[in-house]
Structure 1
């Protein structure tokens, strides 16, 4: 079994006339939390969308658990136990929190068929999901919607969780709750790929890191090594962690 669960090799992505990714090489080690960092417009979100098949790679190869998924459709990729939380969260505002969760629970046709033990675990991670179980999701705050988006992604066991900027726009207390939740998810054995702008979030959670610029991965290594190297931080990110 490969140490890397997900590998991108020379991946290019075109969106219309625009060439966004220019040969992305990225590895996501099995059982680790990998941070994908970079300035705005570096290509991070496009990389996630290309992995999920929402945008098709025009060149290169994407493998998951040893299987080439480059040309698969998004539903086929999701069926491999890969969950994706986009930056927009994708919440169905007119449905209740319970209905949003049920939609993601492929093995259940009604709420009573959802795994009760897993739900209780999710409620321990995100108490707001339980508190607002029967409320319309559109009435939740931004932080509560983000909790619901992640909770929905893990309502069934996933081998890989991909999340785009989970702390964006959240209050510090909610960010700390997110950090705790992702730490527990990682401890449970889930492999995680996170795009993040909150550097404190990245330092506390990241095992490995890849930094993107101009549609390429320009640095990869351990999160700790990047956190300890102020010169590298300024060179790659224009800031100090």
Structure 2
């Protein structure tokens, strides 16, 4: 088996007095998309934030490309090749779409060929290129947040609930974009929309009470309604 791109071994994370992650073990293969599922409060967002260095693990190890990164400053983790798209999107509303993209590029202006590729994924960004990001719809802001994360090639992208509050038509467009994006880079996706996750995910890990309780192929979970019900309290047929 190929060496995992990212591993978490026995990771515990405390936020104040709260013990959120309680021994997370996760091995993320290189390439494709791994989906992190679980009920609200299971620890999914805390897992992403711990990987990104926004929360420091109180115990355990986080390794990326064979290098320990647990507890490193967030800028160092980003420099190693990891990008993070938070649930809040965190775009600069008063800046134009173009200015948002300039700020995201660490090495200077975005390469024109790469920008054309990003416009192919998210055509609305080209249309609103010189508009303030604050005038974009929620779905368009999400597209901008993802585009900023890929302004330069990244080895791993962490994306937190990209479909939350997004119109169905935008979600369909995002499925097409993500299918293309995961050919270029490895994605760890937190998502509540099971149909979206099942249509794109290659691998799946399910969290409950701060631990990983299931790992496997996304296709296997999508086919097994009883397992969905046991792990998530839902089924693909009823949860959109």
Q: Is the 8 A contact 1:2 1:66 kept in 2?
A: no
Distance in structure 2 (CA, Å) of the matches to 1:102 and 1:114: 7
Normalised to the residue count of structure 2, the TM-score between the two structures is 0.97
**Corresponding residue number in structure 2 for 1:147:** 143
Q: How does 1:33-52 map to 2 (within 5 A)?
A: 33-52=33-52
**Corresponding residue number in structure 2 for 1:91:** 91
**Corresponding residue number in structure 1 for 2:221:** 226
Quote the offset at 1:56 in angstroms. 0.2
Match of 1:127 among 123, 126, 132: 123
The reply to whether residue 196 of structure 1 matches residue 184 of structure 2 is: no
The reply to whether residue 81 of structure 1 matches residue 76 of structure 2 is: no
Residue by residue over 1:49-72, the C-alpha shift from the partner in whole angstroms, topping out at 9 and shown as x without a partner, is 000000000000000000000121
Distance in structure 1 (CA, Å) of the matches to 2:166 and 2:206: 23
RMSD: 1.0
Residue by residue over 1:155-206, the C-alpha shift from the partner in whole angstroms, topping out at 9 and shown as x without a partner, is 1001001100011111111001111111101122x00000000111111100
Distance in structure 1 (CA, Å) of the matches to 2:159 and 2:71: 21
Match of 1:217 among 212, 216, 227: 212
How many aligned residue pairs are there?
A: 236
Indicate the SS of the match to 1:57. Answer: coil
Distance in structure 1 (CA, Å) of the matches to 2:27 and 2:163: 23
Q: Is the 8 A contact 1:2 1:65 kept in 2?
A: no
Structure 2: gaps of 5 or more residues: none
Match of 1:174 among 159, 170, 174: 170
Q: Which runs of 4+ in 1 moved over 2 A?
A: none
**Corresponding residue number in structure 1 for 2:3:** 3
